[in-house]
Structure 1
Amino acid sequence: MADSRDREFIFVFTGPDGSGRKTIADSVGSTLGLTKVLSYATRKPRPGEVNGQDYHFITPELYEELDASGDFIESVTINSNQYGIRDNDIRRSFRNNGCIYLIVNAEGADMLKQIYGTQVVRLFIYADRGTVEERQRQEGISGDVIEERLSRYETDMAAHARCEHAFENYDLAHTVFEITNTLEQYLQRNLEERD
């Protein structure tokens, strides 16, 4: 019989802005009963985002204080905003829950892989550039912000080859179903047998 620690994973959702990675990650996480570990961000919440649900939105001053004390396992600056993941949040959630998930950029996904090794499973979510742009326009995001995000599209897409799994996201329900089935192979819980 396998040791239960063998089935404790950190599922890391990554991909370009507009790929749907957050919506998919939260749907899959909810379906599988996984605990979400939130990143910290110095930017203002976007429409529909909630502090403590999407990110921990904090001041640049508090971010700098946490960063200086070594709290962040990963810290990046994107478009003048800082994003980080606290090592203690990951360790505590992982210890208490066994399987957790995060939504991070490619650099964060790679950093987590370096630290946690085979317990990290990177899931790359993507769509073609035109679809990503259209989704952001439909969200009412300004043209300047979309242009800024799309300037990273090719760099973000290059992370595809480093991830354990990659999923095109053109049909949300299908993508969630496909990823849920993939993660069940790791968890080995046989959801079909449960009432």
Structure 2
Amino acid sequence: MRGTLFIVAAPSGAGKSSIVNAVLARDPNIALSISFTSRAPRPGERHAEHYHFVTADGFQSMVGAGDFFEHALVHGDWKGTARQSVEPQLNAGRDVLLEIDWQGARQVRAKVPDAISVFILPPSRAALEERMRKRGQDTEAVMQQRLLAARDEMSHYGEFDYLVVNEDFEAAVAEMCAIFTASRLRRDPQIARHSRLITALLADEPSWPAN
């Protein structure tokens, strides 16, 4: 059976990556698609682990070749998901998680209407700014730009299936895991997963065990 595509989006600083990494550590049945980006690595980021880092020209060459499942301009840099990171794994029955922004999520939903989407919100604007500043990775100008963009990003929460408020980290991780578990228990995936069992249970002349 085909795997499920999960989308997780959030404004910068909401804790999306930390939550996703914690969920992946608990759920070995989900593969994370590593995005491509045209921006330079931040301190501590490693190629092919956090992102596939490419030049802006290299990114545009991939766009022209039709290599991307989705791509968008985010905070002045290009980000995108390669087709080969998604489609082969879904076709092989593996669940795939995309950690992307709302623009990319909109493109993905148009291609995969049954994708499960989750949006992460901060508990307050003050908490969002505090988390951004704690990272210490951006100049003040970039920080202000990200704060201004955050409100617009959060205004797209209504396009997603689920909302998780990251006030308590462990609670947010547990809620995300619950979403993934519940999605696997939906009727149609369960019918595909347990078709032989259902057929046997509904057979015209079932062989019931003797009392």
Give the TM-score band, short-chain normalised.
0.7 to 0.9
Matched, 1:175 2:155: no
Identity %: 23
Q: Superposition pairs for residues 148-159 of structure 1, below 5 Å?
A: 148-159=145-156
Matched, 1:32 2:27: yes
Identify the match of residue 101 of structure 1 among 86, 97, 101: 97
Return the structure number with greater relative CO, CA threshold 8 A, min gap 6.
1
What is the alpha-carbon distance in structure 1 between the residues aligned to residue 74 and residue 154 of structure 2?
Answer: 16
Identify the match of residue 144 of structure 1 among 133, 141, 146: 141
Contact 1:29 1:101 in 2 (8 A): no
Amino acid across the alignment from 2:176? I
Q: Superposition pairs for residues 16-31 of structure 1, below 5 Å?
A: 16-31=11-26
Amino acid across the alignment from 1:26? N
* Count of aligned residue pairs for this structure pair: 183
Structure with higher Rg: it is 2
Q: Superposition pairs for residues 1-195 of structure 1, below 5 Å?
A: 4-5=1-2, 8-33=3-28, 34-118=30-114, 120-127=115-122, 128-141=124-137, 142-188=139-185
Q: Which runs of 4+ in 1 moved over 6 A?
A: none
Q: Please state whether the residue corresponding to 1:125 is helix, strand or coil.
A: strand
Report how far residue 97 of structure 1 moved: 4.8
What is the alpha-carbon distance in structure 2 between the residues aligned to residue 175 and residue 59 of structure 1?
Answer: 35
Aligned alpha-carbon RMSD (Å): 1.6
Contact 1:13 1:101 in 2 (8 A): yes
Contact 1:43 1:57 in 2 (8 A): yes
After TM superposition, the structure 1 stretch with the greater mean CA deviation from structure 2, 35-44 or 78-87, is 78-87
Say if 1:145 and 1:97 are closer, same or farther in 2 by CA, change over 3 A.
farther
Report how far residue 22 of structure 1 moved: 1.0
What is the alpha-carbon distance in structure 1 between the residues aligned to residue 95 and residue 4 of structure 2?
Answer: 5
